[in-house]
Amino acid sequence: MRSDNKELSLTSSSSSVFKQFQFNYLIGYALAATGNYLQSSRTTIERIFLCTHISTLTLGTLTSSLSDKYGRRTACILSAIFYIVSCLSLNMKVVWIFFVGSAARGIAHSLYNTNFEAWLIHDHHNSGLSTDLLKEILRNSFVLSSIVAIGTGFVSQLSAELLGYVAPFDIAIGIYLIMITFILIQWRENYGDKEASSTTSFIHSIEILRNDPRILLVGLITSLFEVTIYIYAMEWTPALERARTWIIYEPLPLGIIYSSFMFFNMIGTIVFKPLSKRFQVQSFMLVIFLLTALSYCILFIVPDVQPVVLGSFCLYGFCVGIYLPCISLLRSQYLPDSVRATSMNYFRIPRVVLMVIVIVWDLPLALIFTFCGIIMKLPEEYFEPSENVVLLPPTPSYDLLKVKQPQTTSESSHRIDNKITSINVNNK
């Protein structure tokens, strides 16, 4: 009887810890997402957009990787500060200031896309919460992000019409100031390895990618899928405007269409939780890759029928909604906390390079969508539906920065693989 009471008290304590932890993260993340969505990149000319990607590739990779040593909470706050600099630059009608703001936006973008997740997963591990609870908070965060995107789309359009095109960026500044205050008060700092030098973190992240094929595979999937996300963000408007058969409405209600995309994105995120309970993540990710490739193939085959183009983008938004929590879950299992942000930044390098190529060469839409369909076929080719390869139990906790022999990560993976293989043989 005493043991039952003790177990009940532990469960209720864990539940209260999780609720507080989830509340703190979701509010901070929602404020960051609100500020990000208020900044509509479609209003930026291509050269400045290119400058943003180059800044993300160079300065962003360097600064964001330092967060493992100097703190993820600090990096999240810095992302807001750099975003504020970017928003302020748009109030100055000077070209070189635009480019400075664009470089700041590239740094902010890199910090935002890696360190919120790195902070969440590290604090989740330290709190001793279960993987099911991590799935729940990932699902909730992406659902909230979709809701925020829907709302900010209308706010952005209304404020731009009433107050001018810079108004959404000025509103974003206020949101970021609130976010900074909230994170300073509610979030605690966490680190990777404070003792390791920055050079050591870079080197060991490369060793991890070289020695553990599972991490390399997750990085490949992250890079290729994110390329399609950014191309989708840039090209959905011109793709719909060029489709002149069975026109839905003239002129196109872009705000409503964007909100419908975010709605399908939210539906996909909601579907993630029941799917992850019934199936292994790698099993239904294969289906998602196939559907994503199909959506882009439709855009290439039937580019002139507007309802078909719209339906393809909605299907793609649904796939993105499932993909985002899936890939975050895989990264939480495989990437060591000590170099998590650094490794995630390495994943982004191929994506930025491919995006720069697409922008510089000014490729036609048909070729771009064909390219997206091909690169989404690549993860399907390499993504082996084997639990031994893709979705193992979390790797043992060890500090890679204190290991002298790089082969340790690979040897640990082989030991786990052999153990699971023997269990499968015994079960048979």
Full 3-state SS string of the chain: CHHHHHHHHHHHHHHHHHHHHHHHHHHHHHHHHHHHHHCCHHHCCHHHHHHHHHHHHHHHHHHHHCHHHHCHHHHHHHHHHHHHHHHHHCCCCCHHHHHHHHHHHHHHHHHHHHHHHHHHHHHHHHCCCCHHHHHHHHHHHHHHHHHHHHHHHHHHHHHHHHHCCCHHHHHHHHHHHHHHHHHHHHCCCCCCCCCCCHHHHHHHHHHHHHHCHHHHHHHHHHHHHHHHHHHHHHHHHHHHHHCCECCCCCCCCHHHHHHHHHHHHHHHHHHHHHHHHHCCHHHHHHHHHHHHHHHHHHHHHCCCEHHHHHHHHHHHHHHHHHHHHHHHHHHHHHCCHHHHHHHHHHHHHHHHHHHHHHHHHCCCHHHHHHHHHHHHHHHHHHCCCCCCCCCCCCCCCCCHHHCCCCHHHHHHHHHHHHHHHHHHHHHC
pLDDT of amino acid 106 = 85
Residues 6+ apart with CB under 8 A from 57: 106, 348, 349, 352, 353, 356
Distance CA 25, CA 425 (A): 42
Whole-structure pTM value: 0.76
Q: How far is residue 376's CA from residue 286's CA, in Å, rounded to a whole number?
A: 10
Q: Is 395 left (phi over 0), alpha (psi -120 to 50) or beta?
A: beta
- The per-residue pLDDT for range 135-147, each reduced to its tens digit, is 899 999 999 998 9
Q: Return the pLDDT at 85.
A: 94
pLDDT tens for residues 369-427?
777 877 776 665 555 544 333 343 444 333 333 333 334 333 433 443 443 344 343 44
In this predicted structure, which of 38-47, 83-92, 168-177, 314-323 has the lowest mean pLDDT? 38-47
Average pLDDT of the residues in 263-284: 89
**Residue 316 banded pLDDT, cuts 50, 70, 90:** very high
8 A C-beta contact, residue 214 and residue 390: yes
Q: What architecture is the 28-188 domain classified under in CATH?
A: Up-down Bundle (1.20)
How much is the pLDDT for 120? Answer: 93
Task: Give the N- to C-terminal CA distance of the chain in Å, as an integer.
Answer: 39
Task: Name the average pLDDT for the chain.
Answer: 78
For residue 245, the cross-strand partners are 305
Judged by average pLDDT, the poorest of 90-94, 145-149, 271-275, 299-303 is 90-94
- How far, in Å, are 89, 371, 399 from residue 170 at the CA level? 10, 36, 43
Q: Where are the domains of the chain?
A: 28-188, 199-420
Share of residues in the chain with pLDDT > 90 (%): 20
* pLDDT mean over 116-141: 89
Task: Identify which of 222, 395, 84, 67 has the alpha carbon closest to the alpha carbon of residue 403.
Answer: 395
Residue 40: per-residue pLDDT? 53
- pLDDT score at 381: 56
Regarding predicted confidence, which is higher, 11 or 167?
Answer: 167
> pLDDT of 227-261, one tens digit each?
888 888 888 888 898 888 888 888 888 778 888 89
* Burial environment of residue 222 by CB neighbours within 10 A (0 to 12, 13 to 18, 19 or more): buried
Q: Kindly report the length of the chain.
A: 428
Cα 373 to its chain centre, rounded Å, is: 20
Residues 12-68 have pLDDT tens digits of: 446 788 888 899 999 999 999 888 887 654 444 455 666 776 776 677 667 766 788
User: pLDDT at position 238, please?
Assistant: 87
Q: Measuring CA to CA, which residue among 235, 269, 232 is closest to residue 376?
A: 232
The reply to whether 28-188 and 199-420 are identical in fold is: yes
Distance (Å, whole) CA 240 – CA 90: 28
187 vs 258, more confident: 187
Please give the CATH architecture assigned to the domain spanning 199-420: Up-down Bundle (1.20)
Q: How many CB atoms neighbour CB 372 within 10 A?
A: 27
pLDDT at 9: 41
Within 10 angstroms of residue 131's Cβ, the number of other Cβ atoms is: 14
Q: Quote the pLDDT of residue 14.
A: 61
